[in-house]
Chain A
C-alpha cells in the first residue's frame, strides 16, 4: 500500500501569544522599591496573614508554632485577611501592619 504524505496540515497553535498581559500583568519593578530588610527578627512583630484560602489558617498556625518554639523573642500576630482570597480588600489590616508590624507573611494557597 502506498504511503501518502500529508503536506498541508495546519498547526492548531495560534501565533499571537502575548506574554505578561492579563490578570498577572505588572509594571517593571525597580529593586529599590522594596522596603529595607530587617537586621534581626529579635523583638520584632511579625504578622502572619491567612488569605482565607482553604487550609491557609492552619498553615499560619504551624508557622506560629515554629516561631514560638524556635524564636520566642519574635512577637507573632496571626490574622485573617478581611477580603476574599483574591480581591475586595479593605485597607484596615494593611494599615495596622504598617503601623504595628515589622514584617508580614501572607499566604497560602492550596
Chain B
C-alpha cells in the first residue's frame, strides 16, 4: 500500500502486551498472538486487519484524555482532616501530609516575590492530555505552601518551576534528579551544603526539593499508573537530591559560575538521569581518580554524561595532591581515563538503542567505538564538558557520589526575588544545619 500512496504519512497505532524488553522468545511469540490491551483482540489479527481492512480514523493518532477543567479556585469548605484526605485522594501530595494552602498562607508566599500572582511561570508536559499545563506564580505559591516552604524560599521554588522540567517523568524507567542551588541565597535561607546535605533535617533542602515533586503530582498527574509508569520508581523523588553547593569550602569555582552566571547571582541547576550511587569508602589504597574510573566503568554511560558530587576534602586533595587546579582539569582527566571494554559498552540496553544509531550514522567517537574489538578499552565519557563536578559535604569523610546524570539547565533565582539579594557569608557551609542545642533553629 505504501507503494501506491506517497502521502502515507500517518499510521494506525496498536498495542502489544507489556513489557517487551527482556522477554524470552517464547513469551514474545505469545505476545504476537496475545491480546492487544487496547482492543482485547489478538495482536496479529489487529496487524493483519490494519493491512487489509479500512482503518478507524480514531486510531490514527494518540487518544488524548479529556480533563474536565475545574475553574473553582477554592475547595469546598471542610475540616482540616477531611481536606488532608481530599488532597491525598486527589493525588495532590507525595503521600505525606501537606500544609493546607489557605489564602492567607498563599498570600504570605506571594509577598516574597516581585512577580505578579497571575504571571505565567512556565508549562509542563502532561501526557494523558497530550498537551501542556501552564502555571502561574500563584499556582507555584500554592505548591510552595503545601511543601512546607517558608516565604523566603519562594524565589528558589519559582526558579525551579521556571525550568519547565518535571521532577518525575512519564518513563517506565527509574528516573531521578538532582536540584542544586548556588549563590548567596543558599545562606540567606539556611540551606545545608555541609554535613549531611543530602540527608533529612534541613527545612529549605527538604521543602524546596519536595515542592518540585508536588508540581509533578498536582499539575501533570505524575502518579503511579496515571502518567507515571516507572516500574520501581525512585525514593529520591521525595526531595530530588535538593542541596546547595558548599562554595565556601570548595577549592574550585562554583558550578553556576562554570555555567556563565556571576558568583553573586543565585541560581538553581537541574541534573537528571538513572543512576546515583555512593562511594562506600574513600581512596586510601587506590587514587581518587582510579576509584572514580572504576565506578564509572560499571554504570551505563548512556549519553557520555556524568555528575560527581564530592566532599570538599576530595576536591582539596585533587587540587593539592594531584594538581587539578580547576574542575575542568579533573573532568578532562576523567574523560581520558574512565574506560570500559567496547563489548560492555555496547551491551548496555540504553547504549544499544540510544547510542548505536549514532554510531551507524558514522558519528564519532561512537563509530570508532563500534569498530573496536570487544575487549578494546574505549572512553565513553569522552567529552569533558558532559562531566559535571559539584562540591557538597561537611569534610567529615572524603567521600563522593557518582552518577550518569546529565546537566539539564539552570535558572536565575534573582529575577524572582521581592528585593535585591543580601550577602550573608557562611564560613564553612554549615550555617544551614540546625543547631541541636538551639530551639530557635527549630521554630
Interfacial residues, chain A to chain B (CB-CB below 8 A): 3-26, 29, 31, 33-41, 46, 52-56, 58-59, 61-63, 65-66, 81-85, 88, 90, 97-99, 101-110
Check: B132 CB closer than 8 A to any chain A CB: yes
Q: Apart from A3-B79, A83-B361, A110-B18, what 10 extra A-B contacts exist at CB < 8 Å?
A: A12-B92, A17-B67, A24-B64, A24-B131, A53-B21, A55-B19, A63-B44, A84-B358, A103-B2, A110-B20
Report Cα–Cα, A82/B54, bound state, in Å. Answer: 30
B199-227 near A? 1/0 per residue, CB < 8 Å: 00000000000000010001100000000
Question: How far is A104 from B2 in the complex, measured between Cα atoms in Å?
Answer: 8
Interchain CA distance A101-B8 in the complex, whole Å = 13
Knowing A37-B53, A58-B20, the reply to whether A9 touches B1 (Cβ < 8 A) is no
From A81, which residue of chain B is reached at the shortest CB distance?
B357
B100 contacts across to A, CB distance below 8 A: 6, 9
B28 near A58 with CB under 8 A, answer yes
A20 CA / B356 CA spacing, docked (Å):
32
A13 to chain B, nearest CB (A): 6
Binding stretch for chain A, among B138-146, B187-195, B395-403, B408-416: B138-146
Is B2 a contact of A11 with CB atoms below 8 Å? no
Is there an interface contact between B32 and A9, defined as CB atoms closer than 8 Å? no
Interchain CB contact (< 8 A) of B3 among A23, A25, A63, A99: A99
**Complex-state Cα separation, A99 to B353, whole angstroms:** 26
- Decide if B131 touches A11 in the complex (CB within 8 Å): no
Check A63–B32 contact: CB distance below 8 A.
yes
Contacts of B48 in A (CB 8 A): 41
Partner of B139, one of A9, A12, A26, A35: A12
Whether A55 touches B78, Cβ cut-off 8 Å, given contacts A84-B358, A102-B1, is: no
For B, the interface residue count at a CB cutoff of 8 angstroms equals: 89
Chain B nearest CB, measured from A94 CB (Å): 9
Of residues 345 to 368 in B, which have CB atoms within 8 Å of A's CB atoms?
349-350, 352-354, 356-358, 360-361
Please tell me which one of the listed residues B11, B29, B131, B349 contacts residue A65 in the complex, with CB atoms under 8 A apart.
Answer: B29
Judge whether B21 and A110 touch: CB under 8 Å: yes
Known: A37-B54, A83-B357. A4 touches B70 (CB 8 A): no
Residues of B with C-beta under 8 A to A97: 2
Main secondary structure of the interface of A (DSSP, over half): loop
Q: How many A-B residue pairs have CB under 8 A?
A: 231
Interface residue B71 (Cβ < 8 Å from any Cβ of A):
yes
Say whether, besides A53-B353, A55-B22, A66 and B44 are in contact (CB < 8 Å). yes
Which residues between 307 and 338 of chain B lie within 8 Å of chain A, taking CB atoms?
none
Contact of B129 among A19, A23, A33, A102 (CB under 8 A): A19
- Complex partner residue of B142 from A12, A17, A90, CB under 8 angstroms: A12
A62 to chain B, nearest CB (A): 4
Q: Is the CB of B52 within 8 A of A37?
A: yes
- The answer for the CA separation of A110 and B70 in the assembled complex, in Å, is 34
Query: In the complex, which residues of chain A have a beta carbon less than 8 angstroms from the beta carbon of B31?
Result: 59, 62
Please state if A29 and B10 are interface contacts (CB–CB under 8 Å): yes
- Distance in Å: Cβ of B12 to nearest Cβ of chain A: 8
On whether A38 and B20 interact (CB within 8 A), knowing A10-B103, A31-B57, the answer reads no
Cβ contact within 8 Å between A62 and B101: no
Q: A55-B21, A55-B22, A58-B20 are in contact. Are A10 and B44 (CB under 8 A)?
A: no
12 pairs of residues in contact across A and B, judged by CB atoms under 8 Å: A9-B74, A12-B143, A24-B64, A25-B130, A36-B5, A37-B1, A40-B52, A54-B353, A63-B47, A85-B354, A103-B1, A110-B19
B54 CB contacts on chain A under 8 angstroms: 37
Q: With contacts A6-B83, A84-B354 known, is A11 near B75, CB below 8 A?
A: yes
B279 located at the interface, meaning its Cβ lies under 8 Å from any Cβ of chain A in the complex: no
Question: A90–B360 Cα gap in the complex (Å)?
Answer: 11
Chain A residues with CB below 8 A from B442, complex form: none
Interface positions of B from 67 to 121, Cβ below 8 Å from A: 67, 69-75, 77-80, 83, 87, 92, 100-104, 106
Q: Is the CB of A6 within 8 A of B79?
A: yes
Beta-carbon contact of A82 and B360 below 8 Å: yes
Query: A21: which B residues are within 8 A, CB to CB?
Result: 131-132
Tell me whether A61 and B28 are in contact (CB under 8 A): yes
Q: In chain B, what residue has the closest Cβ to A26? A: B61
